[in-house]
Amino acid sequence: MGPTGEDTSGSVVSQLAESVKAISELPECRNAFRKMYGNFVRRVKLLSPLFEELRDGYKQLGEEEVVALESLGEALNSAKQLIKSVNQGSKLYQALQRDEIIDKFHQMTVKIEAALSKIPYEKFDMSEEVCEQIELVHAQFKRAKEKKDCLDSQLEMDLAVAVRDTDLDPAVIKRLSEKLYLRTINDLKKESLAFHEWVIASDGDLGDHFEKMQSLLKKLKDLVLMENPEVDNSEHDKSTVKHRSPVIPDDFRCPISLELMKDPVIVSTGQTYERSCIQKWLNAGHKTCPKTQQTLLHTAITPNYVLKSLIALWCESNGVELPKKQGNGKNRKAGSSISDCDRASIASLLEKLAKGNSEEQRAAAGELRLLAKRNGDNRVCIAEAGAIPLLVELLSSADSRTQEHAVTALLNLSINESNKGGIVNAGAIPDIVDVLKNGSMEARENAAATLFSLSVVDENKVAIGAAGAIPALIKLLCEGTPRGKKDAATAIFNLSIYQGNKARAVRAGIVAPLMRLLEDAGSGMVDEALAILAILASHQEGKAAIGQAEPIPVLVEFIRTGFPRNRENAAAVLWSLCTGDLQQLKLARELGAEEAMKELSENGTERAKRKAVSVLELLQRVDDDFIPQQC
């Protein structure tokens, strides 16, 4: 290799050394993921001697070594970004997102272990001590790859109880305070700021996390104040001396009156105003947004519940009296959290859907999408107002953004069980399938999620399969984003509960992509792929197609080393394949299935144990003259 090759290898090694150094110097993690964060950083630190020795040595690296090290460098850079993000932001939000973060940690571990496996260490001029240390760290990454980390069981239980119950045992909140490192007033102030930043960054798409986080934050604050009253009083006294009249954040002031908002509402440009102020502006005949001077697409106003809650939190923490809303609530319907004015706003949005131009329709569909996601009362109100047929019509819109809003609004509305029937009765299924086939990637993913939601009702499984959804779902499974693949897989699984859809899935070529997902440890789709194979294997066509894909080696490996649910599904598929097929039985025995099944029959789930016993019975009866028949 000439000078360019030397420069490349030297640069790669230096970058790796710097990446390890940067990860090693990251600050201590102080949240629910402290243990897995610390374990990962510790493993990465152990790689340091390898890169230091390569950087300080004089041996020129070949192309194979450089390519392998570059692959490891990419993995470490991705890892650095992940663990930095885990140590920033709201601790409560991260705790509520724990499954997703744990999955990311596991995918990162799999990626690094795969990169380490490709490095030709024998071609490096390393000391014996460094060789031993690299073998050690590689073994640690291998073990970590085989078993996904999890939070400790007590923390899992406490989080579940805290978001579910209103009357909490103080011991639960105390443990959460300790585990999440929210132990002082200062910790909680930082968490409140992180919470506020998260709300702003979410652009209104908060799901159900907002209320859970708000409730937990209040409970934690009550605990800390109770345990440290003197701290809070002293801080309050200092605050009173320093600024007797706290400075109102700009985001909490109405752009018209410049006063603290008591009833913030959003107009079509996305700007927020005090309700009474913007209503006067609109009543005066203005058609523009006061702050941006943009033309308003419509004059409907939507309550900004998120900002209203943040203002209430700020008022409470700064000793400011909560602003009182005008009126006595007589206009509110019993049992509903939506006022008559809000219903009027929804009616105005529906008028735009029905009669507006393309821009008005897009904006109105977008607002209905957010309203339908916010809470159950909104979903009832929007459906009762007649939105579903209008949204179904917009599924055929030539404007891709309008189509995305319409299908996502229907997805959010379908969360309500009674709305499922309304959506199907409006003739939505063929149009949703068309969006799944031809829409933008976001629209296709949300169409898949909508079909899954509708398929919870058994008769809808038949209609969705007959409408041609399954081939389009398989295509999304192959080419979608990680989220899109998950949506497609869950929809395929649910649809395949109906016997007729199993054959449709097999004929559409589902088995090959499922096998690819099984063989790609970093895909994050192994659970879904095995679950779908298990349900398809019970069908004769499914069994034949799976058998042709030569899955036995992969299945036996999952039975040996997989997670409990994956071992169970792999055993179910293996049992279906081996029942009535002597060749598959012999191959399974040759690959060590008998030993793996014995272990599973002792340590698996109840269903896995039953399948393992059945497969063991088949294996024990294998001979050239006997082929068991499938029941």
The residue to which tokens 């080696």 are assigned: 553
Cα separation, 440 vs 457, whole angstroms: 27
E strands present in 352-495? none
Positions in the chain short of pLDDT 70: 1-9, 57-59, 166, 195-211, 227-246, 306, 322-342, 622-631
Note whether residue 266 is domain-resident.
Answer: yes
Block residue for tokens 């923390």: 155
Q: Which two tokens stand for residue 415?
A: 């969360």
How many angstroms separate the CA atoms of 536 and 510, rounded?
10
- The count of structural domains within the chain is 4
Give the Cα-Cα-Cα angle 357, 362, 365 (nearest 5 degrees).
120
In a domain? residue 262: yes
Domain finish residue from 227, 260, 292: 227
Asked whether residue 136 falls in the same domain as residue 172, the answer is no
pLDDT value at residue 589: 85
Residue 296 within a domain: yes
Take residue 280 and report the two structure tokens written for it: 């006067």
pLDDT at position 202? 56
Burial 96-105 (b: 16+ CB within 10 A, else e): bebeebbebb
Longest dimension (CA), the chain: 95
Q: Distance between CA atoms of 479 and 31, rounded to whole angstroms?
A: 35
HSE (side-chain half, CA atoms, 13 Å) at 165? 12
CB atoms within 10 A of CB 59: 12
Domain-located, residue 310 = yes
Assess contact for 276 and 326: CB atoms under 8 A.
Answer: yes
Four-CA torsion 109, 115, 121, 122, nearest 10 degrees:
130
SS (H, E, C) 334-372: CCCCCCHHHHHHHHHHHHHHHHCCHHHHHHHHHHHHHHH
User: What does each C-alpha distance from 371 to 83, 207, 208, 283, 488 come to in angstroms?
Assistant: 34, 11, 13, 24, 25
Determine whether 147 is exposed, middle or buried from the number of CB atoms within 10 Å of its CB (0-12, 13-18, 19+): exposed
**Residues 94, 208 share a domain:** no
Same domain, 146 and 163: no
Nearest in space to 426 (alpha carbons), one of 436, 413, 439: 413
- 559 within 8 A of 593, measured Cβ to Cβ: yes
Integer angstrom CA distances of residue 109 from 50, 132, 264: 19, 20, 45
Using alpha carbons, select from 321, 310, 187 the residue that is nearest to residue 245: 321
Same domain, residue pair 162 and 135: no
3-state secondary structure of 295: strand
* CA end-to-end distance (rounded Å), the chain: 65
Determine the pLDDT at residue 466: 92
Q: Which two tokens stand for residue 580?
A: 């009535």
Q: Which of 502, 387, 373, 504 is nearest to 449 (CA)?
A: 373
Neighbours of 3 (CB within 10 A): 7
Regarding whether 158 and 145 lie in a shared domain, the answer is no
What is the rounded CA–CA span in Å between residue 462 and residue 479? 25
What value, to the nearest 5°, has the Cα angle with vertex 79 and ends 114 and 481? 80
71 and 135 together in one domain: yes
How many other CB atoms sit within 10 Å of the CB of residue 434? 17
Domain final position from 151, 170, 197: 151
Are residues 30 and 123 located together in one domain of the fold?
A: yes
Per the structure block, which two tokens stand in for 517? 């997902």
Residue 239: its pLDDT value, please?
37
Question: At 272, is the secondary structure helix, strand, or coil?
Answer: strand
Domain that holds residue 565: 550-630
Radius of gyration of the CA atoms of the chain, in A: 29
Same domain (yes/no): 144, 186: no
Same domain, residue pair 53 and 12 = yes
User: Of 109, 136, 151, which residue constitutes the final position of a domain?
Assistant: 151
Sort strands 272-274 and 264-266 into parallel, antiparallel or unpaired: antiparallel
Model confidence over 501-550: pLDDT tens digits?
999 999 999 999 999 998 887 778 888 899 899 989 989 998 999 999 88
pTM summary value: 0.49
**Residue 612 in contact with residue 604, Cβ under 8 Å?**
yes
Q: Does one domain contain both 583 and 617? A: yes
> Is 40 inside any structural domain?
yes
Helix axes 540-548, 511-519, angle to 10 degrees: 50
Half-sphere exposure of 69 (CA within 13 A, CB side): 26
Query: Is position 305 within any domain?
Result: yes
Same domain, 69 and 21: yes
**Inside any domain, residue 141:** yes
pLDDT tens track for 490-499: 899 989 988 8
Q: Both 51 and 13 in a single domain? A: yes
Question: What's the CA angle centered on 176, arms 172 and 177, to 5 degrees?
Answer: 115
Closest C-alpha to 309, from 211, 168, 444, 163: 211
Q: Is residue 61 situated within a structural domain?
A: yes
Q: What is the pLDDT of residue 236?
A: 39
Task: CATH number of the domain at 279, please.
Answer: 3.30.40.10
Q: How far apart are CA 366 and CA 408, in angstroms?
A: 9
Q: How far is CA 440 from CA 406, 444, 481, in A?
A: 13, 6, 12
